[in-house]
């Protein structure tokens, strides 16, 4: 590597200056003029942690190619869009930090990637994917001085060592060069600053280096380091040092010169950053404030933090300076956060009180008067009287405790300067007439007025073209007073003006005197003809008139205290009223002035309005545009030359209207945020965003994501909150919707479909109109509303119709089959009825002879023991006679139940007693069959309302069947059931053969018997028992049947709908 060392002795530099006395004189004069400058021409807006910045120590600032501002701090990276700071963190870091979160340097490469140097790693932010990654993995720290060259390679210092990362080949190269700072030069060169006071010109392509020793090697090592290098357009380098101030190196001559910043001979300033702010102008950040250096005039000026001045720098330690695309300056401080200077907003020059500084005494400006000698007399409501010298920018405040100021007081309400005579009306102090040159009192009036009425409160003072001095007072009876200085008397003008105080006085071009009143509108008086009268505003109630003004076309304008701005034409007829609906910021208007461009400037309660007389278009300027406040004050407006002055409650405003005619290029508008269900959405695998919302032109959302909000911003940092936005959602809205103070639009449950979201912006002062930004939005329908779903619906509908037709055919077939079955059932029913009728007739036919037989059998039975040889045969006859009688009774009872002819009488019955009696009756029969018959009752006594005869038949049949089919035992269990409707249960449990499952319900059918059954029976007992149970509103079921265990359960209610309590009935008879 080729190196060349050049030494330039300092004595050569100073010797050159000494040989050029004229040059030295010019430098000294320029330094002196810069030192004696008093006016604060730069106003800074502060962004600190309370405004959303992550830390007040700002170490790096970058505006990317899209216009977004990136701010590196000691607590991480922030992106600023003029409204909000968005904090960025590394998602792979569990501490939400980028490296150690101490951001030292930022740069943007040719592809739009943001490179971030920290104290613990190098990172890259991909704005398209909104993602940060550490790149590359380097075991070094303290990354700084990041640069991107024309080939998109990244140059940086790490541990004061120079590296180059070539993105195309993914190659990292250690250049083996030590440096403290790095700067990009022209013609693909790099400039390196070293700790020994030298700079190095490095040509990467050729690998050549050239060293220039700037600081005498004999100086102490701590004073030599180079901190910053900037190549200028004037073939030179501006070089910042740590303890040797600012130097200039001439690339053509090779000469080095010291640049004196602010104070001659002061070279101990620590330089942190240098930028070119404009042609021949440079902003230098240092540990002792901000310096503005003009290389052409060689003047410099230092801006510092001024305690109590809200528009000064917030801190003197300046670590980063950046110029944005609107030529505004961003300044990063060590303790005071981010400072912003807008040349556009600095068009409003502000005069306000600053403690310990030469400034205006009061904030609430009430009266202004120019003396023609570049002085403005200022009357305030909280600081008395002040005088501003426009040449020097200095103030003289008349607030000392002398006799004159004590008479004036601190609350000035009216003021007029007539040559050297100064009329001052103070709150409750009457009128003082002073000589403005000698500052002596010429006349003093604690009260002014006529002999009949007087007042100590002067509201306004006016001088007519003929030199007559007119006064308005708070006294409603005095009207307009004319003052005669020679006679020192006050006379009332006109006859009609009474019962209303006068707030403003004006003389139009024809000599007519106009007065603005509190309650009676506008009063006029023609001194020539004596004609007088009122012009009442077209409002109800009548508003107070604060000011009257005649424009260049002789139209008269009235400012009001709530009625807006009123225009009277040349014939003094009402022609138009301007209010908030017309574009005014407030309906309370104070004063107005016309500039040289035929514009009216109106001070209001909520900003300063400009009304173009040619188009009647209104632009509004607010605190965002550089005003000290939005609230102006009464009476205070003054035009001096091309400059206009307005008084507010926070000081005096001065500006040149001609500076507001320029138009600037329109800034871009971007979408800055997407939220779904109040959750921020970022690009990802399961996200609707494939790219950052800023780069997204089509947004596809599921129907579950139909509630979302979009945030957007127009990147105009001069007055971001004053930008006027309008939006429209095509497919939902037909008209543009204005947004007031909001940059987010919310949509709730948007219907599926295709939409186009459009947003446009406009400067509040009309300096630019932004282009429309659009986003295509598609809300996907739920699956059941998709074309696929509709196809499925159509297929299902077709299948439904096919199935419906099939169902109809099957139903028709089943209907025919049902008809056939019904016919068969009817036939079976008829057969069944015929069978019943047959059995019933047979039973009746049999019952009579059986009864006739049973009588003799009973008689013979009593004597049968007398014929032992036929006893056995007789007993058989009696047995089967009784059986036939029982069978005929069952058949007749069953017939009654079938035709609802079996009437039941529900009486209170001891269930235990009935069952025990039945058990005893069957014990003999059970014993003969070898069956153990037992009864188990869980309750001592259960009483229920039953038909005792029917209940006996039910239980008798079940016990009889149990005895017949049991193998060894039959057990009857009685218990109460716990339910909402009280009932009792009787279970009949035998150990006989199991009844097949398929016959569990058939066994209760009449005349049904199990196939192959050999036991005697008719199949009528269980059917009769089931019918009688149903008449009791109970149930009879076979609940279990298996080998060795068959259980029938009878459940009857304890009470019936109709009950007969025989005990109570008998008691009643007794």
Residue 151 sits in the same domain as residue 113: yes
Residue 223 lies in a domain: yes
Continuous segment of H or E residues that includes residue 825: helix 787-863
Residue 236 sits in the same domain as residue 214: yes
Closest among 3, 26, 28, 23 to 13, alpha carbons compared: 23
Residue 20 lies in a domain: yes
* 963: helix, strand or coil: helix
User: What phi-psi label fits residue 383: left (phi over 0), alpha (psi between -120 and 50 degrees) or beta?
Assistant: alpha
Residue 42 sits in the same domain as residue 178: yes
Residue 863 sits in the same domain as residue 1012: no
Q: Report the pLDDT value the prediction gives residue 264, as an integer from 0 to 100.
A: 56
**φ and ψ of 239, to 5 deg:** -125, 120
Cα 518 from Cα 540, distance rounded (Å): 14
Residue 762 sits in the same domain as residue 805: no
Residue 821 lies in a domain: yes
For the chain, the domain total comes to 4
Cα 1029 from Cα 1052, distance rounded (Å): 8
Q: Report the pLDDT value the prediction gives residue 2, as an integer from 0 to 100.
A: 41
Q: Which of 736, 759, 785 is the last residue of a domain?
A: 785
Residue 751 lies in a domain: yes
Cα 503 from Cα 589, distance rounded (Å): 13
Domain range for residue 851? 798-874
With a cut of 70, which residues of the chain have pLDDT below it?
1-40, 136-138, 262-267, 400-401, 537-541, 828-829, 832-848, 850-852, 879-880, 883, 885-887, 889-903, 1007, 1012-1019, 1061-1070
The percent of the chain in helix, strand and coil, each rounded to the nearest 5, is: 20, 40, 40
Q: Report the pLDDT value the prediction gives residue 1067, as an integer from 0 to 100.
A: 37
Other beta carbons less than 10 A from residue 434's beta carbon: 23
* 775: helix, strand or coil: strand
Residue 769 lies in a domain: yes
Q: How far is CA 204 from CA 2, 102, 194, 731, 741, in A?
A: 12, 30, 18, 57, 51
Q: Report the pLDDT value the prediction gives residue 764, as an integer from 0 to 100.
A: 84
Q: Report the pLDDT value the prediction gives residue 274, as an integer from 0 to 100.
A: 96
Residue 1001 sits in the same domain as residue 866: no
Place of tokens 């380091």: 225
Q: Report the pLDDT value the prediction gives residue 720, as an integer from 0 to 100.
A: 92
The CATH number of whichever domain residue 1005 belongs to comes to 3.30.565.10
The CATH number of whichever domain residue 742 belongs to comes to 2.60.40.10
Place of tokens 């040092």: 241
DSSP label of 588: B
Cα 645 from Cα 656, distance rounded (Å): 9
Q: Report the pLDDT value the prediction gives residue 1058, as an integer from 0 to 100.
A: 83
DSSP label of 348: S
Residue 890 lies in a domain: no
Cα 433 from Cα 443, distance rounded (Å): 5
Cα 518 from Cα 273, distance rounded (Å): 58
Residue 763 sits in the same domain as residue 703: yes
Residue 687 sits in the same domain as residue 815: no
Q: Say if pTM beats, i.e. exceeds, 0.85.
A: no
Residue 207 sits in the same domain as residue 280: yes
Q: Report the pLDDT value the prediction gives residue 275, as an integer from 0 to 100.
A: 96
Q: Which of 303, 332, 351 is the last residue of a domain?
A: 351
Residues 662/764, Cβ–Cβ less than 8 Å: no
Residue 231 sits in the same domain as residue 89: yes
Tokens encoding 4: 């060349």
Q: How many whole angstroms from its chain centre is CA 647?
A: 38
Residue 572 lies in a domain: no
Tokens encoding 839: 């059995």
Bridge partners of 339?
Answer: 46, 331
Q: How far is CA 637 from CA 121, 492, 660, 918, 922, in A?
A: 58, 27, 18, 123, 128
First to last CA, the chain: 142
Tokens encoding 628: 């000290």
Q: Which of 785, 807, 824 is the last residue of a domain?
A: 785
DSSP-assigned letters across all residues of 518-537:
SSS-EEEE-TTT--EEEE--
The CATH number of whichever domain residue 281 belongs to comes to 2.130.10.10
Q: Report the pLDDT value the prediction gives residue 588, as an integer from 0 to 100.
A: 97
Residue 868 sits in the same domain as residue 998: no
311-355 per-position pLDDT tens digit = 999 999 999 999 999 999 999 999 999 999 999 999 999 999 998
Residue 124 sits in the same domain as residue 168: yes
Residue 380 lies in a domain: no
């Amino acid at each position: 590597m080729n190196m060349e060392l050049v030494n330039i002795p300092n004595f050569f530099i100073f010797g050159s200056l000494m040989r050029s006395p004229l040059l030295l004189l010019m430098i000294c004069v320029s330094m002196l003029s810069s030192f004696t400058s008093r006016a604060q021409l730069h106003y800074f807006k502060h962004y600190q942690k309370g405004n959303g910045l992550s830390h007040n120590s700002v170490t790096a600032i970058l505006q990317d190619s899209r216009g977004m501002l990136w701010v590196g701090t000691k607590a991480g990276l922030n992106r600023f869009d003029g409204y909000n700071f968005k904090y960025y963190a590394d998602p792979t870091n569990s501490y939400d930090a980028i490296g150690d979160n101490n951001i030292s340097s930022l740069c943007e490469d040719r592809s739009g990637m943001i490179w971030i140097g920290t104290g613990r790693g190098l990172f890259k932010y991909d704005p398209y994917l909104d993602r940060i990654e550490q790149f590359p993995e380097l075991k070094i720290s303290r990354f700084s001085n990041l640069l991107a060259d024309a080939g998109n390679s990244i140059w940086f210092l790490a541990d004061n060592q120079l590296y180059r990362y070539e993105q195309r080949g993914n190659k990292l190269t250690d250049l083996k060069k030590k440096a403290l700072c790095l700067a990009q030069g022209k013609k693909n060169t790099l400039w390196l600053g070293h700790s020994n006071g030298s700079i190095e010109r490095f040509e990467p392509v050729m690998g050549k280096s050239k060293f220039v020793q700037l600081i005498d090697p004999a100086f102490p090592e701590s004073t030599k380091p180079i901190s910053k290098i900037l190549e200028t357009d004037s073939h030179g380098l501006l070089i910042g040092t740590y303890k040797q101030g600012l130097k200039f190196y001439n690339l053509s001559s090779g000469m080095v010169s010291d640049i004196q910043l602010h104070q001659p001979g002061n070279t101990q300033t620590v330089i942190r950053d240098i930028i070119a702010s404009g042609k021949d102008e440079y902003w230098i950040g240092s540990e002792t404030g901000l310096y503005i250096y003009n290389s052409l005039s060689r003047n410099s000026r230092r801006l510092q933090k001024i305690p109590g001045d809200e528009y000064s720098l917030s801190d003197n330690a300046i670590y980063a300076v950046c110029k944005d695309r609107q030529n505004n300056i961003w300044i990063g401080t060590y303790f005071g956060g981010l400072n912003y200077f807008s040349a556009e907003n600095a068009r409003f020059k502000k005069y306000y009180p600053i403690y310990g500084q030469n400034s205006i005494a009061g904030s609430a400006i009430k009266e202004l008067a120019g003396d023609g000698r570049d002085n403005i007399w200022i009357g305030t409501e909280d600081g008395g009287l002040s005088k501003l010298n426009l040449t020097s920018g200095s103030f003289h405040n008349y607030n000392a405790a002398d006799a004159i100021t004590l008479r004036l007081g601190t609350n000035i309400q009216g003021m007029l300067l007539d040559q050297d005579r100064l009329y001052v009306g103070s709150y409750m102090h009457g009128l003082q007439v002073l000589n403005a040159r000698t500052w002596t009192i010429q006349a003093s009036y604690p009260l002014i007025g006529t002999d009949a009425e007087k007042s100590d409160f002067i509201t306004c003072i006016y001088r007519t073209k003929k030199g007559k001095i007119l006064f308005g007072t708070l006294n409603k009876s005095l009207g307009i007073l004319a003052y005669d200085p020679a006679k020192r008397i006050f006379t009332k003008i006109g006859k009609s003006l009474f019962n209303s105080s006068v707030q403003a006085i004006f003389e139009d071009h024809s000599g007519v005197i106009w007065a603005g009143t509190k309650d009676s509108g506008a009063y006029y008086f023609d001194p020539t003809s004596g004609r007088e009268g009122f012009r009442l505003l077209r409002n109800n109630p009548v508003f107070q008139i604060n000011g009257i003004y005649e424009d260049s076309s002789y139209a008269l304008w009235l400012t009001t205290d709530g009625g807006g701005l009123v225009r009277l034409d040349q014939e003094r007829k009402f022609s138009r009223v301007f209010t908030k609906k017309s574009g005014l910021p407030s309906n309370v208007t104070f004063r107005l002035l016309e500039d040289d461009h035929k514009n009216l400037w109106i001070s209001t309660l909520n900003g300063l309005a400009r009304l173009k007389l040619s188009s009647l278009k209104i632009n509004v300027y607010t605190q965002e545009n550089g005003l000290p406040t939005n609230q102006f004050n009464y009476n205070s407006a003054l035009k001096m030359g091309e400059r206009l002055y307005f008084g507010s409650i926070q000081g005096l405003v001065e500006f040149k209207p001609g500076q507001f005619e320029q138009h600037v290029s329109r800034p871009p508008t971007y979408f800055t945020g997407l939220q779904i269900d109040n959750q921020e959405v970022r690009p990802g695998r399961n996200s609707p965003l494939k790219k950052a919302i800023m780069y997204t032109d089509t947004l596809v959302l599921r129907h579950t994501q139909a509630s979302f909000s979009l945030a957007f911003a127009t990147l105009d940092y001069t007055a971001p909150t004053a930008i006027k936005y309008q939006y429209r959602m095509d497919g939902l809205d037909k008209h543009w919707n204005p947004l007031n103070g909001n940059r987010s639009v919310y949509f709730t449950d948007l219907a599926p479909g295709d939409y186009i979201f459009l947003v446009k912006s406009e400067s509040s002062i009309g300096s630019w109109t932004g282009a429309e930004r659009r986003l295509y939005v598609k809300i996907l329908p739920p699956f059941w509303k998709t074309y696929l779903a509709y196809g499925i619906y159509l297929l299902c509908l077709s299948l439904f119709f096919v199935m419906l037709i099939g169902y109809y055919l099957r139903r028709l077939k089943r209907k025919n089959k049902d008809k056939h079955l019904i016919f068969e059932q009817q036939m079976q029913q008829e057969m069944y009825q015929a069978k019943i009728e047959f059995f019933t007739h047979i039973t009746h036919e049999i019952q009579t002879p059986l009864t006739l037989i049973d009588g003799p059998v009973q008689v013979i039975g009593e004597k049968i023991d007398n014929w032992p040889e036929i006893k056995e045969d007789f007993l058989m006859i009696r047995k089967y006679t009784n059986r036939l009688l029982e069978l005929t009774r069952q058949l007749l009872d069953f017939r009654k139940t079938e035709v609802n002819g079996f009437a039941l009488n529900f009486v209170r019955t001891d269930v235990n007693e009935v069952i025990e009696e039945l058990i005893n009756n069957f014990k003999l029969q059970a014993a003969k069959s070898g069956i153990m018959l037992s009864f188990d009752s869980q309750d001592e006594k259960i009483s229920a309302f039953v038909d005792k005869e029917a209940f006996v038949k039910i239980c008798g049949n079940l016990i009889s069947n149990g005895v017949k089919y049991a193998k060894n035992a039959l057990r009857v269990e009685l218990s109460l059931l716990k339910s909402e409707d009280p009932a009792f249960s009787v279970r009949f449990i035998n150990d006989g053969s199991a009844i097949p499952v398929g016959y569990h319900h058939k066994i209760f059918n009449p005349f049904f018997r199990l196939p192959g059954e050999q036991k005697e029976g008719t199949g009528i007992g269980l059917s009769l028992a089931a019918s009688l149970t149903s008449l009791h509103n109970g149930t009879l079921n076979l609940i279990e049947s298996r080998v060795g265990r068959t259980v029938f359960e009878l459940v009857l209610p304890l009470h019936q709908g109709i009950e007969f309590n025989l005990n109570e009935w008998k008691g009643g008879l007794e």
